[in-house]
Amino acid sequence: MSQAGHKTIFAIATPPGRSAIAVIRVSGPLAGDVPALFGACCPSAGQFSVARLVLDQRVIDQVVLLFMKAPFSSTGEDVCEIHCHGSRAVIEVFLARIGAEYGFAMAQPGEFTRRGFMSGKMDLSGVEGLADLIEAETAIQLHQAWAQIDGALRAPVMVWRGELVGIAAQLEALIDFADEDLPASVEGALRTSTGDLQSALASHLDDGGVGELVRDGVTITLIGPTNAGKSTILNALAGRSAAIVSEEAGTTRDIIQIRLDLGGVPATILDTAGIRDESGTIEAEGIRRSVEAAGFANLVLVILDGSDSTWPMARDKIDQLTSQPKFYILNKADKGLSAPNAAAAGEMMSISAKDPVDIGKLVKKLAKLLVPLNHADASAIITRQRHRQAMQEAQDALGRALGHDFHNAPEMAAEDFRVAAVALGRITGEIDVEELLESIFSAFCIGK
């Protein structure tokens, strides 16, 4: 893309505030002129230099300057970076001086990435991968983000799309020769290719949603009768005293939340008010919130006092409150398990919240329950709902295409192949890209 007509944009690329180093990034046709604004020479393309930047004959900072020539930069434009000391005053002076120069404008959030996308440096799934990388909290999230950036989804989608366009073109050619018979071998080959495509799409669609799970994280709500040990378990999982624990029933009222890395999947764990009948207004509101929190959890962890013989009744009561997937913990195993005959092995686990070994086992169990096939290993290529929708749309269109008579209605089949190709094109951003860009680019707000 030509650089002409573009403003040169600039922004601080590191988080605001004091830091050892801050980076000011400039991209556009005038990027190479920035060092001269401060009495320094621009380094050669692909090189760096150390320079004292001066304004009104006074040193502002000693910096490292980097220069990348179009198109060999992340935006595809000339890019100059100033690595300065992370002092508010230094940054302020640099930004003010650059902003005062004709042809320069402060970058909008995500504008560097947008320019990279527009210049063809990245496809839409790559831009999403970059946004995911910035948001990543666990190692598996970052591996998944890098797989996206490196084309784990883009590469197969481009191949499938190319094949679909090819099949549609062959069918369209037949429309002009309607009277001639389509040789059986050609139709057979087209149907086989379509079947192979369907299998490829199906194998990825049938991934148990693990990519979205790794990206979005999961919510686990602890719920149970008062005094069962919910807050004790939350604290043990957090490794700190996040919630008040006491032998008084009805201690927790508000929802308390912690974050946990569950085998690479980021999890939000919610501790809630204990469920009981006789309670005051405030506690009743707490209980209402508990049930509400259970309603949006990926997993409800029902905590019961296993040493109390009434736990089977308590379990039945909780079962009435929510229909979300549940797993049951019989806590206080150190005091001896009461009513052992009522325990169902598969969906229950007995622990002592005070035993770190048991807590370790619980973490493992949760990771297993929440990560389908236990393979949160960043191998899934579908990481967003929109990828899944587009691939499902393509899959449905292929099913319809195969239902047509290639001899008598090639145009109908060709149309369905085109619909499938368009659906896949949305994944990489070749089609319908504008409405998606704003939401994705809003992730790139660092330093704004």
Ligand X SMILES: Nc1nc2c(ncn2[C@@H]2O[C@H](COP(=O)(O)OP(=O)(O)OP(=O)(O)O)[C@@H](O)[C@H]2O)c(=O)[nH]1
Per CB under 6 A, does 393 bind ligand X?
Answer: no
Contacts of the segment 407-415: beta carbons below 8 A, 24+ positions apart: 407/181, 407/182, 407/187, 410/171, 410/172, 410/174, 410/175, 410/182, 411/171, 411/172, 411/175, 413/171, 414/168, 414/171, 414/172, 414/175
Binding segment for ligand X (CB under 6 A), chosen from 76-84, 204-212, 326-334, 384-392, is 326-334
337 residue type, one letter: L
Nearer to ligand X, 319 or 432 (CB): 319
Pick from 238, 214, 40: which is nearest to 139 by CA? 214
For residue 300, give the 3-state DSSP assignment.
strand
For residues 198 to 227, the per-residue mask of contacts with ligand X, x marking binding by CB under 6 A and - elsewhere, is ----------------------------xx
290 counts as binding ligand X under rule CB under 6 A: no
| Residues in contact with 195: Cβ distance below 8 Å, sequence separation at least 6, in sequence order | 402
Q: Identify the bridge partners of residue 219 per DSSP, sorted by sequence position.
A: 268
Q: How far is the CB of 336 from ligand X (least distance, A)?
A: 10
Q: Which is nearer to ligand X, 91 or 243 (CB)?
A: 243
Binding segment (CB under 6 A) for ligand X, from list 99-107, 117-125, 243-251, 322-330: 243-251
Query: Which residues in 335-354 contact ligand X (CB under 6 A)?
Result: 335, 352-354
Among 60-68, 172-180, 240-248, 393-401, the segment contacting ligand X (CB under 6 A): 240-248
Tell me: does residue 154 bind ligand X (CB under 6 A). no
CB of 301 to ligand X, least distance (A): 12
By the rule CB under 6 A, 247 interacts with ligand X: yes
| Minimum distance from residue 339 beta carbon to ligand X (Å) | 17
Question: What is the C-alpha separation between 225 and 2, in angstroms, rounded?
Answer: 66
Establish if 294 lies at the interface with ligand X (CB under 6 A). Answer: no
CA distances (Å), origin 397, targets 59, 134, 196: 65, 35, 14
Pairing status of strand 47-55 against strand 58-68: antiparallel
Q: Considering only CA atoms, give the Rg of the chain.
A: 29
Q: What are phi and psi of 80, to 5 degrees?
A: -120, 135
Give the distance, in angstroms, between the CA of residue 74 and the centroid of all CA atoms in the same chain.
21
d(CA 166, CA 410): 14
315 part of the interface to ligand X, by CB under 6 A: no
Which residue's CB is nearer to Mg ion, number 115 or number 253?
Answer: 253
Residue from the set 250, 263, 266, 429 that interacts with ligand X by CB under 6 A: 250
Residue 430 engages ligand X in binding (rule: CB under 6 A): no
CB of 66 to ligand X, least distance (A): 54
Cβ neighbours of residue 101 under 8 Å, at least 6 residues apart?
Answer: 30, 33, 37
Could you tell which of ligand X, Mg ion, none binds residue 232, using a CB distance below 5 to 8 A set by kind? Answer: ligand X
User: Given candidates 51, 228, 293, 302, which one binds ligand X under the rule CB under 6 A?
Assistant: 228
Measured distance CA(442)–CA(439) in Å, rounded: 5
If you write DSSP's letter for every residue of 380-404 in order, what string do you get? -S--SHHHHHHHHHHHHHHHHHHTS
Q: Which residues contact Mg ion by CB under 5 A?
A: 230-231, 251-252
- Decide: is 232 part of the binding site for ligand X (CB under 6 A): yes
Q: Which is nearer to ligand X, 14 or 322 (CB)?
A: 322
* 148 makes contact with ligand X (CB under 6 A): no
- Exposure of 433 in the CB half-sphere (CA atoms within 13 A): 16
Nearer Cβ to Mg ion, position 251 or 389? 251
Cβ distance to ligand X smaller for residue 41 or 244: 244
334 binds ligand X (CB under 6 A): yes
- Residues in contact with ligand X by CB under 6 A are 226-232, 245-247, 249-252, 274, 331-332, 334-335, 352-354
